[in-house]
Amino acid sequence: MARFAYDERWTRPYEVINGGTLMALADVAVYLAIFGKLGIVPLAVTNELKMNFLRPAMGGDVLARAELLKAGRRIAYASVDVFMDANPDRLVAHATASYVLPEDGT
């Protein structure tokens, strides 16, 4: 799980956290999920990230929980739920992502 600590520098009007920040948070959550399962994999990189924004993330910390759905020899695939810390049952975004895993850890 990854956390974005609320900072008004990353907001749009009305304290809405910008989409790029939420995408970065989702990407970090996937990165952590892969490394938690496989250990440190040097040069593992994002291959694809798709995010659906469901409602505004406003005025507080945001959490991203990634579930690693598949870790193959070359590709890892994950699903990410993004939600406000104060309301974990209400998604603000959902993402899917894949990472390219280097051969032999290089």
Burial of 28-57, coded b for 16+ CB within 10 Å and e otherwise, reads bbbbebbeeeeeebeebeeeebebeeeeeb
- Return the pLDDT at 63: 98
Percent of the chain with pLDDT over 90: 92
pTM over 0.75: yes
pLDDT value, residue 6: 96
| Per-residue model confidence as pLDDT tens digits over 21-73 | 999 999 999 999 999 999 998 899 999 999 999 999 999 999 999 999 999 99
